[in-house]
């Protein structure tokens, strides 16, 4: 490989004085026919490709072709409306597309994102920021006496929140490796809620997204452990003073005392994905008098049938007649068997629930769909 001298093109971005001169390559470009073109300038590279979740289940690798001007390019086939994630592979190494400053972090990995939308009634439109009233998104520190910690949560307040009118609350829980930023960033909660509320499809509500890792205070970089590399296993329940479920009422009490909530069972819902689905399952058994709507999304919902308390808790939960017990999972999800066992148990007992099954696996694409569906089912 001939080393190409690009020093003259290097961008320095450390201040406004140092704005670079490098010619812009646009990437990605969403084309009118629903295809998407990626462009990347690297005259010296031998092989460049785009890896993205353009298909339902697996990530897809699209080899790029080098043009005479040193710009590598590839155009996808028509893409369905969706929020897509991708990265570049340059001579075998994974990089972020330097032309796209929109990224999401999943655990420790950054990926570029873009949205495909073809109209005003598809998923892409729902995940976009549209010209509608917007809610407020806050990173809030609260006291958890049970965990002996100050902890961080994300709070979405609906556009009509004015400090006077009271609103119902959805508690929205992340999965293993996630944190209080996951639902807002990867899950597009602000956009989904703004759009559903604007269209009259969801009731205006407060959405509370706590951190579900009881051995840390906040997302990586936002507490005093510094800028460590999250690996998804560092902050689980081992060594915690209490579990997420056991400490959960600290969150509810804080929210009811700091926001204009309707502090009643019929105005509280709890839902979560994967580990957060497991938390939802536990919370439903511990506090059936507190919540009226439950959503288990791709839930790590392990039944503890050898624990004598389990049957008693389940009986008490369903004797309380929750308005909704919702289980959602994708056909390819690795937790399908666990969820099938749970449904079989509920069927045997005659405990009523709603079930939603769709394509795909244990991925954010599905959790955005589940949030969208659940948000429309509650507080009505």
* Residues of span 286-325 touching a copy of itself by CB under 8 A: none
From residue 355, give the alpha-carbon distance in Å to each of 111, 278, 330, 360, 374: 32, 16, 11, 16, 11
For residue 12 the two structure tokens come to 């320095």
In the complex, what is the shortest distance from the CB of residue 191 to a copy of itself, in angstroms, rounded to a whole number?
9
How far, in Å, CA of 231 to CA of 1, rounded?
A: 35
Please tell me the count of residues contacting a copy of itself according to CB under 8 A: 95
- 298 vs 339: CA distance, rounded Å: 8
Residue placing its CB nearer to a copy of itself in the complex, 153 or 314: 153
SS3 category, 337: helix
Contacts with 231 (C-beta within 8 Å, 6 or more apart), sequence order:
107, 108, 177
| Piece of the chain touching a copy of itself by CB under 8 A; list 73-81, 91-99, 318-326, 369-377 | 91-99
The residue among 257 and 304 lying less far from a copy of itself, judged by its C-beta, is: 257
Tell me phi and psi for residue 281, to 5 degrees.
Answer: -60, -45
Place of tokens 């390819």: 332
Q: Does 69 bind a copy of itself (CB under 8 A)?
A: no
Residue that is written with structure tokens 């119902």 in the block = 168
Q: Residue 31 or 150: which CB sits closer to a copy of itself?
A: 150
Looking at 13, 319, 348, 350, which residue binds a copy of itself (CB under 8 A)?
13
Q: Closer to a copy of itself at the Cβ: 82 or 292?
A: 82
Residue 228 burial (CB count, 10 A):
12
Task: Write each residue from 194 to 233 as x if it is in contact with a copy of itself (CB under 8 A), else as -, in one continuous string.
Answer: --------------------------xxxxx-xx-xxxx-
Span near a copy of itself by CB under 8 A; candidates 42-50, 264-272, 311-319, 351-359: 42-50
Query: What are the residues whose beta carbons fall under 8 Å from the beta carbon of 113, sequence distance 6 or more?
Result: 83, 84, 85, 86, 100, 102, 103, 104
User: Closest separation between CB of residue 273 and a copy of itself, Å?
Assistant: 9
Given 274, 280, 284, 372, the residue binding a copy of itself (CB under 8 A): 274
DSSP-derived pairing of the beta strands 60-63 and 93-95:
unpaired
* Shortest distance, position 123 Cβ to a copy of itself, whole Å: 15
Site for a copy of itself, residues 113 to 172, rule: CB under 8 A: 113-115, 128-131, 133-141, 150, 152, 159, 163
Residue 264 touches a copy of itself, criterion: CB under 8 A: no
- Residue 105 interacts with a copy of itself (CB under 8 A)? yes
């Amino acid at each position: 490989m001939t080393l190409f001298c690009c020093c003259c093109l290097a961008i320095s971005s450390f201040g406004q004085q140092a704005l670079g001169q490098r010619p812009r390559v646009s990437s990605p470009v969403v084309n009118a026919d629903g295809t998407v073109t990626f462009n990347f300038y690297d005259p010296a590279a031998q092989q460049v490709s785009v890896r993205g979740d353009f298909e339902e289940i697996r990530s897809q690798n699209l080899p790029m072709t080098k043009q005479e001007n040193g710009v590598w390019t590839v155009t996808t086939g028509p893409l369905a409306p969706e929020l897509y994630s991708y990265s570049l592979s340059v001579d075998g190494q994974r990089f972020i597309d330097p032309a796209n400053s929109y990224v999401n972090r999943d655990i420790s990995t950054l990926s570029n994102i873009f949205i495909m939308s073809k109209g005003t009634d598809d998923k892409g439109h729902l995940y976009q920021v549209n010209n509608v009233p917007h809610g407020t998104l806050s990173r809030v520190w609260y006291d958890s006496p049970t965990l002996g910690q100050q902890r961080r949560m994300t709070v979405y307040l609906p556009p009509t929140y004015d400090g006077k009118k009271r609103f119902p609350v959805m508690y929205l829980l992340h999965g293993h490796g996630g944190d209080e930023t996951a639902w807002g960033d990867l899950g597009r909660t602000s956009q989904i809620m703004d759009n559903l509320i604007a269209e009259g499809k969801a009731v205006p509500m407060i959405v509370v997204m706590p951190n579900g890792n009881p051995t840390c205070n906040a997302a990586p970089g936002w507490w005093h452990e510094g800028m460590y590399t999250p690996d998804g296993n560092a902050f689980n329940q081992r060594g915690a003073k209490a579990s997420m479920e056991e400490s959960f009422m600290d969150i509810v009490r804080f929210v009811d005392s700091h926001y204009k909530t309707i502090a009643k069972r019929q105005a509280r819902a709890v839902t979560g994905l994967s580990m957060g689905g497991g938390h939802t399952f536990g919370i439903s058994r511990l506090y059936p008098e507190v919540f009226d709507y439950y959503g288990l999304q791709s839930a790590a919902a392990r039944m503890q049938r050898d624990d004598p308390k389990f049957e008693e808790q389940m009986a008490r939960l369903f004797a309380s007649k929750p308005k909704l017990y919702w289980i959602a999972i994708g056909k390819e999800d690795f937790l399908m068997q666990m969820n099938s066992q749970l449904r079989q148990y509920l069927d045997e007992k005659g405990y009523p629930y709603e079930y939603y099954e769709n394509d795909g696996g244990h991925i954010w694409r599905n959790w955005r769909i589940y949030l969208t569906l659940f948000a429309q089912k509650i507080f009505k």
